[in-house]
Amino acid sequence: MFADVCNTDSIKSSENTSATVICYKNDHQLIPTCSSTVDQETTSISSVITSSIQGAASATATTTSTKTTTTSSTSTTTSSTTAMPQWTMTGSMNVARYYHSASTLANGSVLAAGGIRNNGFLSRTELYNPSTGTWTTTGSMSIARGCHTASTLSNGLILVAGGWNGLALNSVELYNPSTGIWTITGNMSAVRGFHTASTLANGSVLVAAGYNGGVYLNSAELYNPSTGTWTITGSLNIARGDFAASTLANGSVLVAGGENGTYFNSAELYNPSTGTWTMTGNMNVARGFHTVTTLTNGLV
């Protein structure tokens, strides 16, 4: 269920600037390793680099430096160069992990939960404080897991569902930011990991598809926060895992890509009013382990 080959892409601007991202698979089956290089020649007058990068909504370089030189003959030469957007390091987590979840809380903190470390699954969780750039430990989950989903509910609680800890899970738990404590809630109908979870306009959470350790799933179910129970809803047209889902402005849920032994470019829409899925336009490129982001203009 994991990719054997990674892709190499180049991003070019209208000026003589290019960025190359190279991905290759390392010895650990669950995650590829990526490195990047940027080759930049001098640009004249001014330039802005705008690129659409897989897994990001957009990246626009707007940091400009200007150098002005005045000669004795009073002629002036001005040149500007524009740099790529910069990332800055912030405080490290207390525990190294991957295949965890990250959820933004109502107070602006970020909850990192579970994941995998040194081939072991974690129940430990921690909170990131954007004001200080530091992490603090909070309550541990009842069950260690990775490859799960986490959804912020309208009441501020965090719903963690399913995942993997050597076996696929159907267990579900809730994190209370006020107390830092996790409590078990109703189990899903099916064990699954590598699925998606989307919060709907009515407050329900739609869990879709995934992998149960033997086969890829097309089943979907809804969590009711008021009762703590799950109900079956319409099945996807294509069984898939390692895909992405996004709630649209009209309340529908878009599912795109993924795999079930073969990577897909297909996409489907879930209608919460009817509980049914319909196929929509295919992506130009088949992909899995990607992200989707709903923009302010409604595009994804």
Please check the confidence at residue 51 and state whether its pLDDT lies above 70.
no
Would 225 be classed as within a structural domain?
yes
Top-confidence residue, 29 or 39: 29
pLDDT band at 82 (very low <50, low <70, confident <90, very high): low
Question: Cβ atoms within 10 A of the Cβ of 185, count?
Answer: 19
Pick from 187, 217, 248: which residue ends a domain? Answer: 187
Q: What is the rounded average pLDDT of the residues 200-207?
A: 97
pLDDT value, residue 78: 59
pLDDT band at 84 (very low <50, low <70, confident <90, very high): confident
Q: Which domain holds residue 271?
A: 194-300
Would 54 be classed as within a structural domain?
no
Number of domains present in the structure of the chain: 2
Pick from 143, 162, 187: which residue ends a domain? Answer: 187
If asked whether residues 174 and 208 sit together in one domain, one would say no
Top-confidence residue, 187 or 60: 187
Least trusted range by pLDDT, from 52-61, 162-171, 235-244, 281-290 = 52-61
The answer for residues whose C-beta is within 8 angstroms of residue 69's C-beta and 6 or more apart is 76, 77, 78
pLDDT value, residue 80: 62
Q: Give how far the C-alpha of residue 163 lies from the chain's centroid of Cα atoms, to the nearest Å.
A: 15
Burial class (CB in 10 A: 0-12, 13-18, 19+), 120: exposed
Query: pLDDT tens for residues 221-238?
Result: 999 999 999 999 999 999
Look up the CATH number of the domain holding residue 220.
2.120.10.80
Q: What is the rounded average pLDDT of the residues 6-22?
A: 40
If asked whether residues 180 and 199 sit together in one domain, one would say no
Please check the confidence at residue 30 and state whether its pLDDT lies above 60.
no
If asked whether residues 161 and 237 sit together in one domain, one would say no
pLDDT band at 170 (very low <50, low <70, confident <90, very high): very high
If asked whether residues 127 and 143 sit together in one domain, one would say yes
Would 26 be classed as within a structural domain?
no
Task: Please list the residues that pair with 181 across neighbouring strands.
Answer: 176
